[in-house]
Structure formats: C-alpha cells, structure tokens
Structure 1
Amino acid sequence: MQSQQPTNQRESIFNNEVISRFELYNSLFLTLPFYKIKDTGTLLPLFIKSCEDGVKNQETPAKIIERFIAKYTSNTTNKEITDLLFRFIQYIERQVVLFDAVEDASFNKLNVKDEQSSLRALFHKTVDSKELHEKVDKLIEDFSLRLVLTAHPTQFYPGSVLAIINDLTAAIKINDISVINQLLQQLGKTPFFNKKSPTPVDEALNLAWYLENVFYFAAANIQTGINQLLSEFHVDSKNIIELGFWPGGDRDGNPNVDPETTLQVSKMLRQILFRCYYRDFRNIKRRITFRGVESTIGVLQDILYKNAFDSNLEPEDISQDLITQLNQIRDILVEDHDSLFAPLVDDLLRKVELYGCHFASLDIRQDSRILREVHAFCRKHKPISSLFSSNYDELSEDEKISALSFKSAKVIYTTEPEGLVNDALQTIAEIKEMQKSNGEMACHRFIISNCQQASDILQLIELFLWNGWEAEELNIDFVPLFETVNDLSGAAEIMETLYTNSFYKAHLARRGGKQDIMLGYSDSTKDGGYLMANWSIFKAKVGLTQTAEKQNIQLAFFDGRGGPPSRGGGKTHRFYASMGKEIANKNIQLTIQGQTISSQYGSIDSAEFNIEQLINAGIATGMKEKHNVLLDDANFSILEKMANDSYDAFLNLRKHDLFLPYLETWSPLSLLSKITISSRPVKRNSGEALKLDDLRAISFVTAWSQLKQNIPGYFGIGTALKNQENEGNWEQVNKTYQQSGYFKTIIDNCMMSMSKSDFTITAYMANDKKFGAFWQTLHDEFELSKTMLLKLAGHQVLMENYPVEKLSIAIREKIVLPLVLIQHFALERLQHQVTEQEKQAYEKLAIRTVYGVVNAGRNLA
C-alpha cells in the first residue's frame, strides 16, 4: 500500500513542494512583527546555527546558550535570558505548525494510492472466477474497520489552532501569499495552550473537532466509494467503517471522569452530529425547490433543527426515521425529476446510515481492581448478600466462577456507594439511557483493563444484572484488555474459560457470536521492551484465534496503539497486511491518539488515504489465507530466543538503580504533571512517590523521546541480534527477516524510532560523574542496535527504504533542536540552588519545550 511513485520522483516532489515552500514561508514568518518579540526572528537563525555547532562539538546546553547570549545580545539577567528563550520557543512552535501545513498541502502529490492492492483491483481479479468472487463477497460481509479516537495527552493543538492549520494548508495548496501572510500573523497571535488543565469534556470537545471536520466527510466518502464498487460487482452494500470515542468514557486512572461527564459527552456527540446533518440538509434544501417534496423537506428541517439546537429536547434514536424520510425524498427525485440532485440526498443518507444518532461509539473503560471493589460492595447488601459466602474473596478462581449465579436483582443499599464504586454503578445504569437516546451503538462496550482472570468479566456482568439490566436485554459487549507480558501469556486460557461458561456462551450468542479483545502495546512495551511486546502480542493473537475458532466465535482484536513504534504505531497498515490465517483479521480495530490523529487523520485527504490503506490491508490479508511463516519451527524458535534476550536486556536496564533517577533528572518527566493539556494524571496513585509500575506508558515514552533517546523503541534488539550472530544463527535470522512481513515491519518501525533519536545532543552526559556510565550503556545499545539492524536489512542508513519520510524527520529534528537544548539547559539549572522565581521560570521553560518537540515528531508519544 506504499506509494507507487519512484523514490527519486517522490524526493524531487518533496524538495520542490515541501522544503522550498517551507523555506519561503518561513522567511516570511520570521519577518512578521509580533507583540513583545521584536528582533526574535532575526536572532533565531543565528541561535539555530549556534545550537548545531555546539552539538557537533559535544558542548553542554548551558555553554551553547551562554555563548550565544554573550555574542549576539546584551542580555545579562536571568529574566532577560529566559524571556528571549521563551520567544524562541514561541517561534519554533509555530514553525512546526508551518511545516505541518506545508507538508499536508503536498499530501496528494507525495502519496499516490497503490491501485494494484486496492479493493477495486481485488474485485477485478474475481471477474472470471465464481469461487474467488464468493470468497470476496464473504470477506466484505465479515470485514469492518473501527477507528477509536482516544484523549491521550499528546494532541496539543486547541480547536482555534487546528482551524488555522486547516485554512493555512488550503492557502498553501494554491500559493495564496496574501492569505498565507494573514494566517501566519493570526498564528503568531493565537495562544497554543490553555492556562489550566482541560476537563474530560473539554478534551472531548477538542477531539470532536476531527469528527466534525475530517471523519464526518472522509469516512462517508470512503463508504460511498465502497458502495459504488460493490454495486458494480452486484454485491450487497455493507457499512464497513465504524468510529469509536474514549474521552468521557475512559475512566481508568482518571478521577476526573464521572457519570455526569459521560452523559455530557454522549449528548455533545449527538448535538455536533445533528449540526453536521443540518449543515448538509441546508445545501439540499437550497437545491431541491421542486414540487412533491415540500412537506417531507419541511418535516425533516424541523427534526434536524431541533436535534441540533434545542437543548431542552428529549433525545431519542430517530436514525431509522431520518433514513425513511431521506429515501422518500430520493425516490421522488428519481421518479419525477430525472434524479436531479439525488446525489446530495445520497450523501446525507450515507452519513445517517454510518453515524446514526451517535456519531461515534463511546467506550467505557475501568480497571479490573476497581470493578472487583464494586462487586465486593454489592455483595454486602441484600438480596445479593445471601448469594455469596463471606470468604468469597479467598476462593480460588474456579470456586469464584462456580459461585456466580447471574441472577437479576435490585440491590437494596443500606450504605451509599462512594467514589469510584458509585461511579461504576451510576455508569452501568446510564449506559441504558444513552442507548435509548442515541441508539445501541452510542455506548455498547465496557473495556476491563488489567484483566487477569475470567471472573473479572463475569463479575462485571453480574454488576449489570444487579443494576437495572436483564440478561436477555444485555446489549453490552464485554472487552478484556490484556497488557503486560504475563497477562498476554495467559489470555487464551482466560478466554477459553469464558467461552465454555454457560451464561457467557449464551450472552455471546445473543451478541451475534462476536467477541472483541483489546491488546495493549504501550504497557507491554513498558513492561517487556519493544521486541518482547510485539512478540508476546503476536503469540497471544495466535493463541486467542485458535481458542475462538475452536468455540466457533468470531473474534476481533482491538489494538491499543499509540503514535510511536514503542506504543504500537509506525507503519500500522503493514502489520495488518502481514497477518496470516492463524490470526483473526476480519475486523480491524485500533486506537488513534495524540499526534497520530493530526499527522495521519488531520485532513480529509490524509484520513481517506490512511483509512483506505487499512481496509485494503485487511481485505488483502483475508484473500491470502496463507500460513504465517513465523510459526515454522525454525522461525518461531529464533524469534522466541531474540525476544527473551531482548527482554532480559530491557529488564536489566529497568532494574538499574539509576533508571528512574536518570529520567527524573535529565528528562521533563517530573514536570509532565504540570503541563495543562490533559485531565488525566501522569501516573496512577498520583499522591504517592513515583514508581515505575504506576507511571503511565505515555509519560514513560514521552520522557525518553524528549531526551532524543527513544529507549522503549529499540533497547535490547541489538543485544538480541548480536547474540544470535555469536551463536551462529545469523543465516536463520536473515531468512526469517526475508520471509516474514511481520518481522520486517517490526524492524522497519524500530529503525523509524531510532531515526528520531540523536545521542550527539546528550553526548556531554558521558562525563557526568553520577550518570555518565548509565548514559554510555544506553548509547552502546543504540550503536549496537543500529549496526545489527543495518546489517540485517542490508542498508547503509536507517530508513533507507523511506527516503522521503527520513528527510521529513531530519528537517523536523533540525527545527526543534533548539527546543531540546533549551529544555536541557532549564533542567540543568533546576539541579542547582535557585530562587523560587527562577525555579518557576526554568520549570516553565522546560515544560513549554515539550509541546514543540512532540508536535514535530508527529508520533513521538
């Protein structure tokens, strides 16, 4: 699914369309007069050059900055110096936005669709084969793609800035210098960040910008194309694309999400959707001025307007009614008016069929440990108390499951539930209200994170039956989330227990025999390192697929993917394209979060391209139905050895006494909690001392990416490859690499992660008395990994197969180099005795650099 343009042609386009235009508009931007930043545009190029020269000479950030200040400015006080550095940060933040806009404006020129692997090409192959045609029909019937937007704290741009980026991209496409100049001025004067942390509702509203301005159009456009294609080949149309949403529903470790938040977000999604519908409807009404449709048009206008703007309206699921009325209008246009403007109606009809009254399905997520507490609370009250022995918590897993009766009951609470117990019970009750208002798809999944046993799911079902739900009407999918290496290894056994439980078996049958299972890449990488995480998830998927097939269950994997390769990101579609028949792949579900949203789905063009890639990957894999070569004994054995070696290396690093102190000292980890971009705490148990196990994976990865060391994305893989070479197994390793698309994708993404690393920036740390040897350990593994990966791939440089992407990374890293050095300068100052005022200034300096570094990386966190 990669672009079919020759590499040198793409490089030429990138140089002409992206680099040249960025340099032109950047020179314009640097001359713009902004409040309080006079002369900054003149000084910034000199500062960038000083930073580059200083890094080459392995100088400390303090020396680089102090020499620049002395040479080019008259600043002498700490306040004057920090003020100038803040102004540099402001400029660089906006340079990143400008580069994003220039690159996005050239998206269609740089990314030509691969027609050979498209859905249309696949159908053309079936023309002369009835058997092949039936196989494709079945694939289409079973296939679905669900993209789930999550509110992880690395999507920094507020709606006002996103709108500027959108308009700036459009202006750059046509080189409208006048508009570009105005928008750059607007960008310079627009605040990038909030002064206080957003609430979960604020996060939902910010993320809904993408639903309203991108996905509403992109998903519908793709679905329209699919329907047209299916019609051409006489196949029944089917909605393939689904949207999911976590802000407001994901309460795992976020005490700021409560039942009222969840209801607010559900209502907000509905209202935004109906405003989109009403916007489209006004275009229809403007064109359809014929006789015969006046009454239906009038009724439809009234319905859409009230649902879009009347906050006192009692909401209900009216999607089928909307579809009926739109079809009536369409039939009249076809029969009486030569189908004039029927495509406008078709477009709105398609959107209503896709989004109903909900827009995106709101997932509920909570930690299993909290849900166990809720179950224990309910067991204390009548009539539930009579169903369980007092020593239930001490029972074995089998004994607990045997004790579950799945009886519907109304609990009589003698003590009021509080905190998270109350949250869970209220949420269970209000899911029914959301389904009634917005349709079942509005909220139908409950995700159990840290799922460690079958009873975690079965006990949750009982909570539903005790709080207003009946077994026959339980329209909920219970989704276990397996994250750690240990949990992944036992996942198949847990699901086997569930599938053979009589009540759960009956429940699955009522849900169409379908089971969603979520797998977490972030925490598994934090737990076991990059290679072990990917290998553990691969093995878990194989085992879970076998278990589901044995029980005749249709399985869908929901992949919790972050932006960087260390959190499951990178060339995601290639992972799905490389699956064999041993891994369920008919239903692709994945989270999109942080900068992945803006970088891959930030415009209609890029969203359509990436959605198509995922659909093509899923369908193409279903056609192959081939054995996955990693399951051959020799390949399996070599990956098992490398994963274990990599795991040991990573575990030894994690256990190092300086591991956390190094991160806390040299990265902004300890300051992330002060960044006003997220409602979610940086770590669980936020009132206690920092422990690695409590630290959220996103904060863990962000800290390493700020250091430009990206440890979670490669550490241990060099040791693993070198060990196999030393043991005489290199030929087999190379054979596995050549044969397995999955393994090759792991290696490619690892190289991408390393391409965003630069140890020369921190080379001065090698001389640090406390941390020098630890830094050297990290650097040695980086160099070893680089050497071994290049040898395995047969390349001279990292990302040799992706020269345009490599060039883009290089330019972005050059833009933000001063931010990295300013950050290290501020962190170094904080290690000394400073006044309270200076402490606040340096902390603010370090914090502000985080935004630009992550934004430039596009998938760093």
Structure 2
Amino acid sequence: MPRWDDLDLETEGTGISKPLSRQVNLVGSMLGHIAEEQSGEALFEHVEGLRALCKAAEQEDAPEKREEAAERIAALDQDTLERLLHVYTTFFHLVNQAEQQEIIRINRERARQSGPSEWPLGPGDGPGADGAEPRPQSIDAAVADLKAEGYTADEVVAFFRQLDIQPTLTAHPTEARRRSVLRKEQHIADLLSTLRRPDATPDERAETLDRLYSQVAFLLGTDEVRAERPTVREEVEQGHYFLHGSIWDTIPAIHRDVQQALRRHYDATAELPAFLQYRSWIGSDRDGNPNVTADVTRWTVARQRRTTLEHYLDEIDELRDDLSISTRQLTVSDALEASLEADAEEIALPDDVRRQYQREPYRLKLCYIEERLRGLLDRIDATDVAAMAGAYAADDLLADLDLIAESLQGHGFEDAAQSGQLHRLRSLVKTFGFHLAALDVRQHSRVHEDTVAALLDAGDVVDDYGALSEEEKLEVLSRELQNPRPLVSRHADLPADAAELMEVFGVLRAMHAVDPDIVGSYVVSMTHTVSDLLEPMLLAKEAGLGAVVDGSYRCPLDVVPLFETIEDLDAADDRMETLFTHPVYAAQLEGRDGFQEIMLGYSDSNKDGGYWMANWALHKAIHALGVVCDEHDVDLRLFHGRGGTVGRGGGHTSQAIRALPPVVHNGRIRMTEQGEIISFRYALPDIARRHVEQIVNATLTATARAQNTPAPENPLLADKVSMESDVVALMDRLAEEGMSAYREFIDDPEGWQWYTAATPIEHISRLPIASRPVSRASEGEQVEFENLRAIPWVFAWTQTRYIAPGWYGTGQGLATLLENEPDARDTLRDLYENWPFFRTVLDSAQREMARARLPIAERYDALAEVETSFHAPIVDDYERAESAILEITDQAALFDGNPVLKKSIELRNPYTDVLNLIQIELLKRYRASTDDAEQEALREAIFLSINGVAAAMQSTG
C-alpha cells in the first residue's frame, strides 16, 4: 500500500479550499488504488478515461466527447458496468463525507474566531470586549442580537420559555443507502476528522491512514442495494440510531449553549423548559403503509421506552462518578435526607451497596433511582402497552434530579444545576421523558370515513354514512359525539380495515394511560371538511379514549388537519373557522386550552400546482391561518411537512423559518425531517448541533421581532418590508402563470407517457428502500400520476437531471411578468432584495437550475422514443427562467451568489455524467431484452445506478 503521507496532492486551481481538496484527493487516490488492485488496470483506465471525456465535453464545449463516452460504455459488458458503478458511487460517498468534514472545519474555525464561550463568562466577555463577534446563526448570536436591540434578560428568557420547537422524524422513502453503507461512511468521517487534528502524532496519522484505506476498501466491497425492503421495525431501529446518538447528545449541548449565552451577554442564568423536543412518525404513520399495524406501534412504544431507560442507567453511572461528595466533607439538604429515608422504606438496596455509599448520599440517591428504573424495565411488554404502567414517572425522575441539584447548589456547588453531567441528565429527562419521542399517528381521511360508516352500520344508526351530505354527516357525528353510549359492544365483526383501525385507537388509549407524553398528534391526511376531523374523534370516543362530560366529548388527542392540495390550502382558513365555531369542536378546543395544531403538506401541493403556486399558496395559507387563529383566540402550532428536496419544500430550515409570515411567529413550530435529510443532518454530532442551533436561532429571533415590530403595510410580507397591496396580486399572477405551464404538462395524457418512458420511474417504484409503497394505487392497479406519491415523482426527475419540480414554471411565470408589466422588473428586484420569502423561493429555484444538467437530460428524452417529447418545452422554460433570474438578481450567471456550492456542482458533474450515461445504457438493454433472467440482472444493475446518481446529487425525492 502506498504511504499516503508522501503523496503530493494537487490542491491549487480547484476552486475549493485546500483542506477539502486534500481530503478529496486523498480518498480518491485510495479508491483508485483499491479499484486497480481489486479489478485490474483495465477498470481503472475506464474510470479515468470516462471521467476525462465527460470533463472535456463540458470544459471544451465538445459534446462529441460525451458521445464518445457513451459509445465506450455501450461496448462494455454488464459486469464491467456494475464495477464502474460501484467505484463512482463509492467515490461520491467519500466526497460527501469530505464535504461534511469541511463544513465542520469551517464552523469550528468560525467558533474559534467568535470570542470567549467558556468559563469564566460574564458581560465583559461579550462582543466588543475583544473585538470578536458571535458565530453567525448560533444561539450566542441570537442572544447578542436581542440584547443589541434592547431586550432585557427577563424578556429574552421569556422568549426561550415561549419556544416550542419539535422536529419530527419520518420514515419517508428517500434514503437510498443501506445502513451498512451509512455506518461505514460515519467511520470514514471519524477517520477524516482525526486526520484534521493538528496535534496528531506521526504514528497516529499513519495508523489512521491505514484504517482509512481499509474502510474505503470495505465500502467499495459493500453492496449498495438492499436485498429486500426494510421492515417497519428496521426503520424504527434506524430512527433510534439517530435519536439515541447525535440527537441525544445535541440536546444538552443546546441547553448549555443557552446558559452560556445568557451568562456571557447578561450575566444571568435561568431554568428553562424543554423548548426543543423530537417527535416521530416511524412505526406509527399509517397513511398508505399497510405494514404499520397496531402490533408494530405497540412494539415501537416498548422499544422506545426500553432503550431510553437503558440510556438513563448509563447516564446515571456517569453522574455517580462525579458525585463522590462525602458527608465528612460537606453536608446535604434536609430535603435530600428526608428523601433518602423515604427511599429506604420503599426499596431494599443490597447491604453491600448501602455500606459502600453510607457516607456518599448523592451516590446512594442515584442507587435508589436506578432500582426504580430497573423496575420499570421489567414491566415492559411489547405486546401489552398497558402493562408498562408504573408508579415512577419521568416527572418523578426529574424531581429527584432537581432535589440533588438544589442540595448541591445550597452546599457549595452553586453552578451544579447548569453544568456538567447533572445538567446534561436533567436536560435529557426534560426533553425525552421515558418515551424518547412522542409518536404521531397519521391516517387518510377516507379510511376514517369508511370505519365510521362500518360502526354506524353495525350500531344500526345509519345504513350508508358515505352517501350522506356534509351537513347530514355533521348532524350524525355531533349527535354521536355527545352520546356517552358506545355504538357497538365489540369490534371483531367489523371489516378487517375498520377493525385494525379501532385496534390502533385501543393502543392509543393504552399509551395515553401509561404516559400521555408517549402520544403525539393524530394527523388526518387529505382533510377537506369539518367531518374529516370529527370522524377520528368519534373513533377515539368509541375506543374509550376520553369521555363525554356535561354533554360534550373531550378527546385527549390533538386532532390535526393536514392541508395538502392547492384547493385545500386556499380554503384552509375558512375550514378552520367553520371548525372553531362548530359546537362539538369548540368544546374539544376548550378542553385543549385553546390549542390547535395544523399541518401543511409541501410535497403534494407542489405535485398538484407546481413550484411557484405551491410556495405562494402555502405562504398565503400560513398567513390566513395565523389571522383566523388570532381572531378566535386559538393557540396555533404550525406543522410544516417539508421534504428533503426543493421540489418537496426542502432547503435551509432556518431560512424557511425566517421567511414565514410574521403573524405565525409565536415560538411554536414543527417540521418533518425525512429520509436522507435525517442522515445528512444527524449522522455527525457537529453537523447535528449546527443544524439545531440554526433552527433555535431563527425561531427565537423571529418570535421576538414579530411580537415587538409594527406589522408591515402588507401583512403577507416579512419583517421590515413595506409594499403596496398590489404585490399580492403580482404574486398571484406569477403563481398562476407558473402553474399554467406546469399543468399544461401534467394534464396532457402524453406528458405522463413521456415521463414514464424518459425516466427510471418503473425501477424506482421497485427500489427496496422503505417499507411504504411508492403509490397509493391498490395492488395490481396501474400506477398513474394521481396515485403516484410525491417522493418517487421527484426522485425520477432528479435521476434524469431535469430536477423540474424544483423550478419548472419559473420561466413562464417571471418572463410573462417582465414582458407584459412595465413596473414588474423594479418590483421583483425590490422584492428579491427586501422580502425573505421571495428571495428564499427564487434562490432555491436557481440552485435547482444550477444542479440541472440539460445535455444529460436530453439523452433520457431520446431514450423515451415516444411520439410527443416534452424536452423542448422544459428547455424553453429553463432558458426563460435563467434570463429572468439574472435580470432580477443582477448576476452574470446562475448561482453566482454562492460560488462554493456552484463550484462543487461543477466539479461533480463529470463524475455524475458517467453515472447517468451508464444508467441510460442499462435502461436501453433492459428495454431491449426479452429474457426474464437477463432483465432481473439488469434491474439490479439499474438499482445500483439509481443509488449512484442519488449519492452524486445528494438527494433522491
């Protein structure tokens, strides 16, 4: 093996930083050497030759070079193509890890330059004391900004106490990598991090390089594609890997950051609630996934509780090492002494333990806590949620830890509650309780209607509930929700789907009885009417969840509407107002202290209306919902169902938060974290912490400013923007023109025919990356646009390099305004300069356009071989969009405002082009083959190519 320290790696002229260039060249050189060792010199020559041709095609404006690469690929056998795919895909896995290390390096460098952030801290250590400013978008920066704006310490603490931030992990099928690949990537990331250490000795570097070489070899030899779809339980395990890993460690760090910022800028400390908590859909999201059963949800609850209790036992072991304080040295509080006496009466510790800790009261207290936690562990039963109930709750554990903290603070350890292992453990218990992450249940409104119909029929109330009008349904539902008697004595005779859903509500009842914090929201997909929300309330009542009190039913669940289509978004505020004023739901709202969560679907709205219409409809709906909730004195929490890609509402979370209408900046917010986004944001602790601090920074500052800044003339526009009311009309026209272009494609029957022929959607639908089907179609039913889910819809566009859902319609929308309205240019430039919403949406579009690769996309168009091609209209819209964006943003070329990311895209393109050319060749062979065995082998190779392009593009759906 070469001595990698001796390599003279080229780092100049690449347009990326020297540290990143060195790491990319290092892992690339290792990979090349390994590929040559394992597969021979000929394969290595193919790798380099194809890359060089695709690079020359771009740099020399020589498309014939790309054609030559395609011809070389066509001449290769399938085994060689698969080996090439493995090498290129592995290269992108390595590059992605190197880029994440570069992000970490830059953040750490900024942190080092930001001034003091460690003890001793005080007002004199803040900005100005040494000329250093807080790191941008950090919690320290947020507190510093608020102080500079004149807020007092008490006001800032009040803002923190107002925060209710709840990222929500989902198992949406967008993570194409196997867990084995993810684990190896993380190991490689750790080794690259070690190589960055300036204090590493020569021997340590040599050992690390050897281990890195081995891990690259192992990664290259690992199958990219799963042999079969993961089960829901495996998805739960994957989610727990992050929850009990980087997220578990990030929470105490964020709480510590808050305390340090308060001390640094205000010389203050404060007890804060769990302002940041995680939720999960994994193991409980039933919408369209028949594999999520009541049994799976029971198992998930048990799994979360068991692993959380086990982690607390480990944390208590760490704390016991700290708290070796002896009564020979210091006294403890009377309250702690009394607590130990009460513990001794309830729990019989082994004699040797009592003797060992007879002079160490804190350690003795921790022993009693451990016994109680072990008792709870013994009660866990994956088949019976109710059996998990115990006398010791998470609040009791927190009270015991608070008792320890108060004793320490009163006897020589004033800062014990705000630092060290005790602070860490208290933060963890506040945040995760014994449940880890509250489980939401989501189900489609149609399923509720069918189940209610079955119950009403079985109870001889209504023969055909589904045939009733909305008014008639509301009359029936209102009457039954105020009637304490059950509809049927048991549910065994119901249709299978209805019986299964009633069993889920039974599980929810048991979960709530054990610990209300286990239960999250009940989300109703495709909410169209008031009855869509009253139906699950009736099902909850029928399951014995809640009760009728004084003629009004009170459901302990937060029943959450999910508005997903453009039509539903436009009508969302009217529907909520009707709901708020309905007598039955008004009583429910009163029982929930006026609190209402509302979820918005970013994926399906884009699939329904296109890029600009979806973004604008969402923005208007958010504003309108904020207004109607204010009018009815409703405490609103918006739940943003954002996907990973721009075409599904993805992008920078902190920017999206700042771009929300001011009326909804109340400190409460939820957002989904899906698929590869979970891996990207939470695989590495430093990245996780940076992501979370940016969310907290954005939510805190937006909340403070929205409550204390006069509303702009146009309430749809964000802070400090004062525009004429015709801006809304302008945005309406922009969105309508964009939607017109989009729907012209969608509504043309030949558009779907072209899409299925030009993209690998057929194979994406079979890719074993998640337990959930890619379509809402019944088994055996043909997949059409209407029942195809948004994720595979976007996934296929990304594979072909069109990436159309993230920008298409921008050309017609912007160009039409610029061409037809004399003042549009100045208005749009002003909006881009001053309105966070418009700037965010436009910048996201131009980023996706910069990532698009139309010369490659054209080859997929040629692959389609259908009568009507839609490539030309897409290219036309791209060119019109490019011209308009450059005019509005005053750039020379797309994405000039982000030169680092732009350069990264350019450097990736030649390698990604090779992956696309191989995929196109495999698709040709698959379609030309009539042999089942040959097609199966080709399909496996196509799966590998899909994973490779996903790794190169760093996104799927």
Q: What TM-score does the superposition give when structure 2 sets the normalisation length?
A: 0.82
Q: Secondary structure of the equivalent of 1:240?
A: coil
Residue in structure 2 matching 1:815, options 911, 922, 926: 911
Q: State the 1:142 CA deviation.
A: 2.3
Is 591-600 or 487-496 further displaced after alignment? 591-600
Distance 1:376 1:15, change over 3 A: same
2:221 maps to 189
Q: Are positions 1:239 and 2:274 aligned together?
A: yes
Q: State the 1:597 CA deviation.
A: 1.5
2:79 maps to 83
1:147 maps to 167
**Contact in 2 for aligned 1:143/1:587 (Cα 8 Å):** yes
Residue in structure 1 matching 2:438, options 339, 358, 361: 361
Distance 1:262 1:239, change over 3 A: same
Distance 1:432 1:138, change over 3 A: same
Q: Secondary structure of the equivalent of 2:597?
A: strand
Q: Quick one: which amino acid aligns to residue 473 of structure 2?
A: K
Distance 1:541 1:336, change over 3 A: closer
Q: Are positions 1:750 and 2:819 aligned together?
A: no
1:777 maps to 873
**Contact in 2 for aligned 1:755/1:799 (Cα 8 Å):** yes
Q: Secondary structure of the equivalent of 2:245?
A: helix
Distance 1:825 1:136, change over 3 A: same
1:412 maps to 489
Q: State the 1:761 CA deviation.
A: 1.1
Q: State the 1:271 CA deviation.
A: 2.1
Residue in structure 1 matching 2:303, options 251, 268, 271: 268
Q: State the 1:125 CA deviation.
A: 5.9
Distance 1:117 1:50, change over 3 A: closer
**Contact in 2 for aligned 1:61/1:825 (Cα 8 Å):** no
Distance 1:59 1:486, change over 3 A: farther
Q: Quick one: which amino acid aligns to residue 828 of structure 2?
A: V
**Contact in 1 for aligned 2:797/2:804 (Cα 8 Å):** yes
Residue in structure 2 matching 1:759, options 854, 860, 866: 854
Distance 1:92 1:292, change over 3 A: same
Q: Are positions 1:105 and 2:125 aligned together?
A: no
**Contact in 1 for aligned 2:638/2:669 (Cα 8 Å):** yes
Residue in structure 2 matching 1:843, options 924, 931, 939: 939
Deviations 1:645-672 (A, max 9, x none): 1111100011223322222222110112
Deviations 1:321-375 (A, max 9, x none): 2223333444455556757987212211210111001111111000001110011
1:633 maps to 725
Residue in structure 1 matching 2:211, options 167, 179, 198: 179
Distance 1:711 1:353, change over 3 A: same
Q: State the 1:751 CA deviation.
A: 1.0
Q: Quick one: which amino acid aligns to residue 602 of structure 2?
A: Y
Is 834-843 or 356-365 further displaced after alignment? 834-843
Deviations 1:175-217 (A, max 9, x none): 1313322322332333444211111111111122111111111
Q: Secondary structure of the equivalent of 2:217?
A: helix
Q: Secondary structure of the equivalent of 1:831?
A: helix
1:475 maps to 556
Distance 1:282 1:137, change over 3 A: closer
Q: State the 1:256 CA deviation.
A: 1.1
**Contact in 1 for aligned 2:802/2:852 (Cα 8 Å):** yes
Distance 1:309 1:712, change over 3 A: farther
Q: Are positions 1:315 and 2:393 aligned together?
A: no
1:225 maps to 257
Distance 1:848 1:131, change over 3 A: closer
Q: Quick one: which amino acid aligns to residue 777 of structure 1?
A: P
2:530 maps to 454
Distance 1:537 1:766, change over 3 A: closer
Is 110-119 or 359-368 further displaced after alignment? 110-119
**Contact in 2 for aligned 1:576/1:585 (Cα 8 Å):** no
Q: State the 1:743 CA deviation.
A: 0.5
1:67 maps to 72
Q: Aligned partners of 2:948, 2:699: CA distance in 1, in Å? A: 34
Is 809-818 or 790-799 further displaced after alignment? 809-818
For structure 1, which runs of at least 5 residues remain unmatched after alignment?
1-9, 76-80
1:434 maps to 511
Alignment of 1:107-122 (within 5 A): 107-111=103-107, 112=110, 115=135, 118-122=138-142
1:350 maps to 427
**Contact in 1 for aligned 2:811/2:878 (Cα 8 Å):** yes
Alignment of 1:548-697 (within 5 A): 548-625=629-706, 626-627=711-712, 628=715, 630=717, 632-686=724-778, 687-697=780-790
Q: Aligned partners of 2:149, 2:811: CA distance in 1, in Å? A: 47
Q: Quick one: which amino acid aligns to residue 753 of structure 1?
A: E
Distance 1:66 1:498, change over 3 A: same
Q: State the 1:724 CA deviation.
A: 0.8
Q: Aligned partners of 1:263, 1:227: CA distance in 2, in Å? A: 38
Deviations 1:508-537 (A, max 9, x none): 222232111110110000000000000001
The root-mean-square deviation of aligned C-alpha atoms, in Å, is: 2.9
Q: Aligned partners of 1:14, 1:428: CA distance in 2, in Å? A: 54
Distance 1:275 1:333, change over 3 A: same
Q: Quick one: which amino acid aligns to residue 412 of structure 1?
A: S
Deviations 1:274-297 (A, max 9, x none): 232233222223444442234322
Q: State the 1:122 CA deviation.
A: 4.8
Q: Secondary structure of the equivalent of 1:681?
A: coil
Q: Secondary structure of the equivalent of 2:651?
A: coil
**Contact in 2 for aligned 1:557/1:584 (Cα 8 Å):** no
Distance 1:180 1:303, change over 3 A: farther
Distance 1:727 1:13, change over 3 A: closer
2:818 maps to 725
Larger Rg: 2
Q: Are positions 1:399 and 2:472 aligned together?
A: yes
Distance 1:312 1:575, change over 3 A: closer
Q: State the 1:151 CA deviation.
A: 0.6
**Contact in 2 for aligned 1:759/1:779 (Cα 8 Å):** yes
**Contact in 2 for aligned 1:542/1:583 (Cα 8 Å):** yes
Distance 1:304 1:23, change over 3 A: farther
Q: Are positions 1:708 and 2:801 aligned together?
A: yes
Q: Secondary structure of the equivalent of 2:458?
A: coil
Distance 1:108 1:506, change over 3 A: same
Is 543-552 or 827-836 further displaced after alignment? 827-836
Q: What TM-score does the superposition give when structure 1 sets the normalisation length?
A: 0.91
2:123 maps to none
Is 39-48 or 60-69 further displaced after alignment? 60-69
Q: State the 1:433 CA deviation.
A: 1.7
Q: Aligned partners of 1:585, 1:275: CA distance in 2, in Å? A: 36
Work out the number of aligned pairs and report it.
839
Distance 1:62 1:696, change over 3 A: farther
Q: Aligned partners of 1:597, 1:470: CA distance in 2, in Å? A: 35
**Contact in 2 for aligned 1:198/1:678 (Cα 8 Å):** yes
Alignment of 1:16-31 (within 5 A): 16-31=18-33
1:214 maps to 246
Q: Secondary structure of the equivalent of 1:293?
A: helix
**Contact in 2 for aligned 1:288/1:341 (Cα 8 Å):** no
Q: Secondary structure of the equivalent of 1:555?
A: strand
Q: Quick one: which amino acid aligns to residue 87 of structure 2?
A: Y
Q: Aligned partners of 2:311, 2:224: CA distance in 1, in Å? A: 26
Alignment of 1:3-18 (within 5 A): 14-18=16-20
Q: State the 1:457 CA deviation.
A: 0.2
Distance 1:124 1:722, change over 3 A: closer
Q: State the 1:228 CA deviation.
A: 5.0
Is 839-848 or 642-651 further displaced after alignment? 839-848
2:588 maps to 507
Q: Secondary structure of the equivalent of 1:589?
A: strand
Q: Aligned partners of 2:15, 2:173: CA distance in 1, in Å? A: 33
